[in-house]
Each structure stands twice: as C-alpha cells, then as structure tokens.
Structure 1
C-alpha cells in the first residue's frame, strides 16, 4: 500500500475525470468531429475540455463528503458511465431521459439478451475494473489531511470551482457564437450546451436521472389531487384497438385563415388540399399562449380552471389512453416538460436529445426530425395500440427559422429579429412556415397510410401580425381573434375507414367541415376518444362534445 501513497484524493479525481470524461467518450468525440460541419476542431476541443472538467468538478464535489461516501458515489459514477458508454459506442444510442426512464422502469430479468448479455457484462467488468480498484485500494491520505488542514479544504474547493468554470465558460462562449451564426444565417439550432450535455457521458445520463427524479416528484405532487377520469369512468375500446395507432400533432402559432385549405388566397397547403381522408375544422383555441393552452386543450370540460393561470383540475386524455393499455411516446421541438410528464408517456425526447442523434448533428431545429422519430416509434411498436404525440415548433417567431430555403416561396421575407420588417414581409415569412407545416403533416400521414391509424392536428393558439410586430399571449378575454383562430384537423387511413363505425364517425367530421361549424380545444378530450372509437356507458365521454358522435 505504501507504493500507492502518491495517489492522493485529488489525483484520483483527476484520473477518474480523464478516464470517464475523455477516454470513455473518445469514440463519441471522433464521431462528433466528423459530423460537425463548421469549427469542428475548435468545437471538439472545447467539448473534450468541458467533459473532463465536468467529471473533475463532480468528483471533487463528492470528495468533500468524506472518503467512504466519495468512494461509493464515484464508484457509481464510474459503473453507470461505463454502462452508458457501451450503448453509446457500439449501438450509437443517444442517452437521455427516455432511455434512463425505460432502464429504471424495466426489471432486469425482462431485458432481452440483445440489451444485456455477456458482451455487456464483460465490458462493464473489464472497463470499470481499473478505476474502481484505484478508488478502493488507494489510501488517499488527503481525506485525513483535510480534516486537520483548512487550507487543503479551501484549495480543493478552489480547484472544484475552477473546474466548474472550465466546463461552463467555453460552452457559454460557443453557445453565444452559435447564436450569432444563427442570426447571420437565419436559422435556429438547438442549444449548444444542451446538445453537448446530451452527447457525452456522464452528463447525458446524469441529466436524464435528474429529469426522471423531477418528473416522478412533480407527477406525484401535481397529480395527487387531480381528478382522474380513467378511475371514475368506464371506457370501452373499439374492436380494432389492438392494431390501432393514434397520433396527435400539436401545432404552434398557426392560424387557419392563413392556410389555403381554409380558403386563404395563397395555395400554401398543396398537400393537405389533396388528402381525401382529411377533415379541416374551424378551430378556436382555449387560450393564447402555449403553456396555458396545453393546460386546457386536452382535459374534459372544466378540467382546467378559468383563472388566468389555468390551474389543472383533471388528468388529460393521453393519460386515459395510457390506462386503456396504449403504449405511448412523445417527441418535441419544445421543452414543456411539465406537460409531457402529465401525458404519462413511456418515453419522451426533447429537441436537445433529438438533435444529439447522429442523423441530426449540425442541423437546425426542424419539425421534420419529428417525422423520423415517428417512423422509428412505429417500428418499435409494429403491432399497434400505440399513441405518439408530436409537439412541433410550427410557426413560432422567427418564422423564417421554421422552414428550409426550398420553402421560401413568398418573398420578400422578414429575415432577422432585429430587422425592420413590413407587415407584408412578416406575412410572407409566416405563410412560408405554414407551407412547411403542410409538408410535415403530409410526411406524418405517409408513415401511417398502410396502417390502422387516425391523426389529429391542432395548433395551440394563433398569432397577431402587424408592422414589425408578432405576438400572442394577450389575455384571452381581450385577445384579438387572430390569436384564437386555429386549424384543427383529423386524418384517417383507408384501413381505419374500412370499419363501418369509423366511416360513419368520420362522415360526421366531414359534415362539420362542410357546415363550417366552430370546434373548440375544450372538446378535444371527448372527440379524440370518440373519433378513435371509444365509448363510455357511464359518462366518461360527453357525446354532446364528441365531434364524431353518430346519432342513433
């Protein structure tokens, strides 16, 4: 043991930081270097420094808790990081909340041999062995010295803070640089720091575990007093429920009076115009801001309060479907985690996690990435009885960041946040964003044409546009109609409509479309269940609020 006395606690921390932060991530650094299109060498170098500094900060922080606790916590850090690296290196898996939640919720005895087999076990033991032995065999005399020497404690604390700054400052500088390039190039990339955190171990699984802990706490806290329709009513599924797919696409800031399919004088919905199984309804939002609308648009009548903050009183329709045996996944280009938790989805991925995937590295935030996630989700659930929720970036300002140049049909555009843009330039950019939404929705339908599927689309709210101005969120009792006038659409596959009951229900939707009957967010709960074929003998679905109700 005397030969190991040179291994002070600080030196062990440095070794662990190099081992986990650099060596385990080395294949990921190389992969990122080849995927990045600009500033690849600089970005990779900064990411190496940040990964090393993060682990050093974490281990030094743990060292302040005493030698035994330091060894336990750092051993867990090593083992979990090695486990994560196996899937990151060999399977190119992006570790995030969804993966962590799935791993924590699954009994290890049920995991398939492809997920946990002898290859994984061998990797875990061999790669963890050296750092774990060092942690437990090295005497680390500094632990005893710290108790006698306040200067040693202060010195280590200073190094820890320096490590934290070495992690945060370079990422902040690169993030600011990316933001500047985004303004120059008229694009919007996912947060640089968020993508880096989602790309490397241990930041990816640590943030995933943090989000899982928060989700579990908030779900238990928030749902404690919420009325749960699934526990108070009986829901009878349709006969074809076992192979049924339900997809809900949440739009952003879309106005139906700016969409060709609703009679707008610009043909910016050429794909939707051709869809024979599509009902385009005259929608009105329940509120004028994303957070507020997400509270009131998926619950029963009275399920959210009429107060300005829209306090929730009930669980939403997605949680009801979950309790009817549906598997569910959610993919988002936004970050309303509080809402995603309440859907009770088996898995969800936010834009930083999605943009960390190999196919999306270096690309701007783009709603078409959600289509790829939808395709993969369907492939993972080939038998059906599956729900997918897609939360788009849609037509959120800056509008020109929402579509590739190939969709810049209407000119001139409003190209920059700081530009002095005329009303027409703002409208041109806005209409282009809706042209791209048309493309995204058509692509969503394409994934489901040969399946038993129904797709719902509703924007969260509208948008006011005027000379160099864009806004929503006006208190709903005084908001202009532009902020409440939204598209609500329902699409069904041919296979879905082969069933007479479904065909009759869909005919009701087309009847509403022809009559231009107003429909409201507040009726989505009953209509999603009703249009999918669910019934409730004891009032769980209010048929007067079900757009697909067929009178007997």
Structure 2
C-alpha cells in the first residue's frame, strides 16, 4: 500500500499535469474528482502489487518498478512524451548513439532519487510474509478492497470519467507504471506473440520495365533522401519567417507544402512509406511480412542501393544492397557516435560509374534528430544564435532551442543541394532526379510537448506535417515526359507518405498491377502515350494543368 501511494504521489506528476489540462481545478467538485482520481490510481497500483506480493519475487519486482518508473517519469516530465507500444518499439529499435544523446544529469537525478534510493530502502526493509491459507485470504481481501474502492470512485464520478477516458485515451499513457507495462505487453505480443515463423510474401511478381523505359535515350539515376525529424513549418520554402532553405530556393526545386507522414516515429514512417500499404491499412506486421518498394524496383531491373546515417532502415532495405556510415571513421565530420549527413555522399560517384542500368539510391539521413540538435550540423551552419547546447531542454530558453533546430534545417538544405550537385554532374550521361521527404516532424515545446512519437490520433500537426521537395534535371523532364509547370501547380495539393510507393514506380515506368496512378504525384503531369498506367485498369482523365 505504501509503494502504491509513493507511485501516485511521486512518479505520476505527468499524469496529474495531463489531468489538469483536461479537467481544470475550478471548485470543490473538481477537487473531489481529483481525490477520486488519486484513490483510483492508488487502488489500481495496490491491486497489481498485491498480485506479486510473494516471497522471492516481491522485492525484485518493486525494485525493477522503481527504476523503470523513475526513467519513465523523467522522459514524461522533461519531454512531455507519453508511453505507448510505438514508443517501446522506438526504444527497442534505436541504437547506442541515439540512446546516449538522451543521457543527462537530470536523468541521473531521477534515477538516483526515484530509482536507486527507493530500491535500497526496499532491499533493507523487513517484510513479514503471511503463509498458507491465511496469506492467500489476506491477499484476496486486499484485492477485493482495492477493486471495490476503484469501482466506487468510478461510480461516484462516472459522468466525468466516461467522456474523459473515452475521448482522451492518451491520459492513460501518462499513468506510471501501468502505461509502460501495458505498452511492453502489447509490443511483446506484436513482436513475439505469433508462434509461426513470419514469412516474407513477395509482391509485384509481374513487375517489368514499361515501354517508356525502353524508349528513353539514357538510363535514369534517382536519389531518394529520407529525412529525419524535419517539420514543414520550419522550411523557408513553406513560408517560414526565417529563410532556412536558401540553397533549395536557388535551385528552383518543386516544393510540396501539404504532406503528411504515415507515423510520428522512424520505426513506423520509414517501413510504412516503402511498404505500399496506405497509412489507414498499415501495420508493423504487414510491413515485416511483405516485400516493399525496393524489392519491386529491383525485380524490374533497377539497381537499388540504401545508405544509412540513422539507426537503421527498419526492415525496408533487408533484401537489397545496403550499408551504414561508420561513425568511428577518422573524419572531422564524425565524432565516433554520429556523422554529418554529407558523409553519405562519399564514394557514391564511384558506385554510379560502375552501374550500367537504371539506379535508385536511398540516403537515410540523421537530419534534425533530437534532442541534441546542436550535434547535427557543422559550426559553419550555426546561422541562428544563441543555441541550446544541451539535451536537457529545461536548461535552455525557447529561443535557443528553436535556433538549434533551425540550424539543422539550414544544414539539411545544404546537404540536399550537395545531392543535387552530384546529380547535375551526372546529368550529361543520365536522366537524374532527387526526392526528399521527412519521416515525421518534431514538437518544440508547444503545449509542453517535445520530440516526437506521440500517438497519431492525438499527435500535433508539428509531428505529422512534413516537408517534401523534388528536383528534376531538364533532361529527365524531357525524357520522362513530365510537365514541370503542371507538377509545380500541384505544390498545394494534399499528399502523404502513401504517394511515395506509386510515385517512384511511375518515375521508373515500372509496369505492375500494384501501381495506382491516382497515388502517383507526377501522373497527371506525365505526357506519355504508354506508361505504367497501361498495366492497370484505365483511370479517370487527369485534371488539366493549372497555371503556376
């Protein structure tokens, strides 16, 4: 009972804050409801702990809960994040460099005060365990009393609890420790709950080069840059007050200002955009049990290559050639844990020169990954000062945080310009193009929320509205039959990660029944008599091009 009370009082500050936002404390009735909420949590925690209050397991469980709950309290309090199964997946699929960026003195303080000290107290505290029927009866009585207390609290304020828990399910993601225990159980069930071996089903077995491919005078070279943690409203191209994208502006890239992500974390968005499943029909299991875009392109004869400067490709590149940037290389652009994104361009020209067919290169960038934004760009790109040079946002002003983040966007602008420069050097031999889209956005303190990975249903637009740009060489526009003015006029059309799969099939003129012209961003602007659309049922006529 004391342990449950401690959890309510000291480990659930984020839950109390979330409750205060939903039910402002304005009178005695609200105060009574707050008391009922505390009693409800206390009863629930005590019931769960009573179920494990047996010799040999009780103290170890309490100590593990103290340490895990201390860490959960830190992240929920300092970053405003809630914990669900997607957050657990992010933790499971991250790497040491990303994880170490989250370490801070404040986290150690939480771990010491709420983790290690209670653990030492539990270890030294003598506990008398009732045995036999007497012990079971005592535990059963406690469980019954806790259940009755919880039911009474719910019944007394049913009119408040019913809409609160029905319409604001995210509140439960802040309740510590049940939030992460439920998330762990859900993730474990998704990851290991199915006993049969997960086979990868092939897709696009009918994929083959279309007639336009054969007619093109030169081979194609397309680079797809998968961005990281860039939010659209901090791109100068999208009207941001600061010109964070001057190089892309000078290049005259095609900008798409209304693009939404498939998820709010890399672990969801990256496999989703390559899977071919729309967000509404996507699941982690489907991505892991089906081939994706890279497999289809490779089957059609495209030379596919993935280079990673992030945690990994989340399964999207497992069946194609791929490598990862070595952050331990002797290079001023690397610090032993991460490298600046420009490192990914090293050796790409030699790779291109060795290929005779159409080439598709994916560069998975580190981009604006937080919370250590100041480590994502060279000193020369610190255009906005002063900057937050800490991973503990409470030690920085909001201005310093925004400055550091905007510097990452300015460096991304430069990196993308360097990718275009590489393509321009190859434009005399190949039809070249670059597409960039971020995997998700980022919260920068709005409503007390930082970082990303919020549940999609309640995620702020800052985490789901992502930047997307496209650059096409004049030769590619001519040979692929793309009307640039028409495509530029679509810059305000609503797009999403759902369009990625079909747009690249269209650019490479891959014929397959998987292709959906309605999801190909360039299809209405492509003037080819025969192309990928001929492999499927005829679709409605595309709209007439609008003036730019």
TM-score for both structures, normalised by structure 2: 0.55
| C-alpha displacement of 1:338 | 4.3
Which residue, out of 321, 329, 351, partners 1:356? Answer: 329
8 Å contact from structure 1 (residues 303, 314) kept in 2: no
Number of the residue aligned with 1:472: 452
Partner Cα separation in structure 2 for residue 345 and residue 304 of structure 1: 27
Instruction: Classify the secondary structure of the residue corresponding to 1:297.
Output: helix
Partner Cα separation in structure 2 for residue 228 and residue 304 of structure 1: 19
Query: Structure 1 pair 525/508, CA: closer, same or farther in 2 (3 Å)?
Result: farther
Q: Per-residue displacement from partner, 1:135-168 (whole Å, max 9, x unpaired)?
A: xxxxxxxxxxxxxxxxxxxxxxxxxxxxxxxxxx
Which residue, out of 437, 440, 457, partners 1:458? Answer: 437
Which residue, out of 430, 447, 469, partners 2:422? Answer: 447
| Aligned 1:504-515 pairs, distance under 5 A | 504=483, 506-513=484-491
Partner Cα separation in structure 2 for residue 475 and residue 303 of structure 1: 14
Number of the residue aligned with 1:494: 474
| C-alpha displacement of 1:380 | 3.1
8 Å contact from structure 2 (residues 304, 359) kept in 1: yes
Partner Cα separation in structure 2 for residue 540 and residue 522 of structure 1: 13
Number of the residue aligned with 2:397: 422
Query: Structure 1 pair 392/448, CA: closer, same or farther in 2 (3 Å)?
Result: same
| C-alpha displacement of 1:497 | 1.8
8 Å contact from structure 2 (residues 505, 515) kept in 1: yes
Unaligned runs of 5+ in 2: 1-95, 106-195, 525-540, 543-548
Number of the residue aligned with 1:379: 353
Matched length: 328
Which residue, out of 391, 403, 407, partners 2:381? Answer: 407
Unaligned runs of 5+ in 1: 1-174, 185-219
Partner Cα separation in structure 1 for residue 459 and residue 236 of structure 2: 24
CA RMSD of aligned residues (A): 3.1
Number of the residue aligned with 1:259: 235
Instruction: Classify the secondary structure of the residue corresponding to 2:470.
Output: strand
Number of the residue aligned with 2:517: 543
| C-alpha displacement of 1:361 | 6.8
| C-alpha displacement of 1:304 | 8.3
8 Å contact from structure 1 (residues 305, 311) kept in 2: no
Query: Structure 1 pair 377/304, CA: closer, same or farther in 2 (3 Å)?
Result: farther
Partner Cα separation in structure 2 for residue 399 and residue 545 of structure 1: 34
Partner Cα separation in structure 1 for residue 236 and residue 365 of structure 2: 20
| Aligned 1:42-191 pairs, distance under 5 A | none
2:367 maps to 1:394: yes
8 Å contact from structure 2 (residues 232, 257) kept in 1: no
Query: Structure 1 pair 442/407, CA: closer, same or farther in 2 (3 Å)?
Result: same
Partner Cα separation in structure 2 for residue 472 and residue 356 of structure 1: 30
Instruction: Classify the secondary structure of the residue corresponding to 2:523.
Output: coil
Partner Cα separation in structure 1 for residue 310 and residue 502 of structure 2: 26
Q: Per-residue displacement from partner, 1:116-141 (whole Å, max 9, x unpaired)?
A: xxxxxxxxxxxxxxxxxxxxxxxxxx
8 Å contact from structure 1 (residues 252, 459) kept in 2: yes
Q: Per-residue displacement from partner, 1:166-215 (whole Å, max 9, x unpaired)?
A: xxxxxxxxx99xx79x999xxxxxxxxxxxxxxxxxxxxxxxxxxxxxxx
| C-alpha displacement of 1:470 | 2.6
Partner Cα separation in structure 2 for residue 242 and residue 340 of structure 1: 28
8 Å contact from structure 2 (residues 260, 497) kept in 1: yes
8 Å contact from structure 2 (residues 272, 282) kept in 1: no
